[in-house]
């Protein structure tokens, strides 16, 4: 019977520690809300930010991006990494996460917006209708350096 108790404790301790650390260790002490960054993104452009939110989507092809939503306002921001630098778990949607990186401003023409929307629809297995795409656009995303997926 003694053998079962330690084995159970080892298994239980593994379940409790379900945090997944990705990329470089987080450097900033406290995360901001996604809403704080999206409310005044120009104030954070080219600066390192750390945000905490709920994972709403993950790239299903390469795991090269994930979207985080503010739990109160539903504002979202995308964390994008170079393919292979970090692979976000494809099953992370619905979990809380903290991500860190440099906030960048992205300006795209209508044609670029259409191309990106088409690519993402293919990745996610969704239907694509170019007529529904608005453009040009300005958006902000975090060039991710590190993240922690919480459970």
Q: Is residue 148 pLDDT above 50, yes or no?
A: yes
Helix H or strand E segment including 50: strand 48-58
Please tell me which residue, 47 or 5, carries the higher pLDDT value: 47
In this prediction, residue 17 carries a pLDDT of 54
Domain boundaries, the chain: 19-149
- Please give the average per-residue pLDDT across 87-97, as a whole number: 96
Which CATH number is associated with domain 19-149? 2.40.50.140
- The number of C-alpha atoms within 13 Å of 1 and in the hemisphere containing its C-beta is 0
In this prediction, residue 131 carries a pLDDT of 84
**Of all residues in the chain, what percent carry a pLDDT higher than 90?**
62
Q: Please tell me the distance from the alpha carbon of residue 56 to that of residue 30, in angstroms, as a whole number.
A: 21
Tell me which residue of 139, 122, 151, 11 sits closest to 67, measured CA to CA: 139
Please tell me which residue, 76 or 151, carries the higher pLDDT value: 76
Q: Is residue 129 pLDDT above 90, yes or no?
A: no
In this prediction, residue 16 carries a pLDDT of 52
Q: Please tell me the distance from the alpha carbon of residue 150 to that of residue 16, in angstroms, as a whole number.
A: 11
Which pTM does this prediction carry? 0.79
- Phi-psi bin for 46: left (phi > 0), alpha (psi -120 to 50), beta? left
Q: Please tell me the distance from the alpha carbon of residue 141 to that of residue 101, in angstroms, as a whole number.
A: 9
Please tell me which residue, 72 or 16, carries the higher pLDDT value: 72
**Of all residues in the chain, what percent carry a pLDDT higher than 70?**
89
Helix, strand, or coil (residue 76): strand
């Amino acid at each position: 019977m003694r053998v079962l108790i330690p084995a159970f404790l080892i298994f239980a301790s593994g379940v409790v520690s379900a945090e997944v650390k990705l990329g470089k260790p987080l450097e900033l002490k406290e995360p901001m809300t996604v809403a704080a960054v999206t409310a005044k993104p120009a104030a954070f452009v080219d600066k390192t930010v750390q945000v905490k939110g709920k994972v709403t989507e993950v790239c299903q092809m390469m795991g090269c991006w994930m979207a985080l939503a503010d739990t109160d306002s539903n504002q979202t921001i995308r964390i994008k990494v170079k393919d292979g630098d970090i692979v976000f778990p494809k099953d992370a949607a619905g979990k809380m996460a903290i991500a860190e990186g440099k906030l960048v401003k992205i300006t795209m023409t209508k044609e670029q917006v259409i191309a990106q929307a088409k690519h993402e629809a293919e990745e996610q297995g969704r239907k694509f209708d170019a007529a529904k795409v608005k453009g040009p656009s300005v958006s902000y995303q975090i060039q991710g350096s590190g993240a922690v997926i919480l459970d």
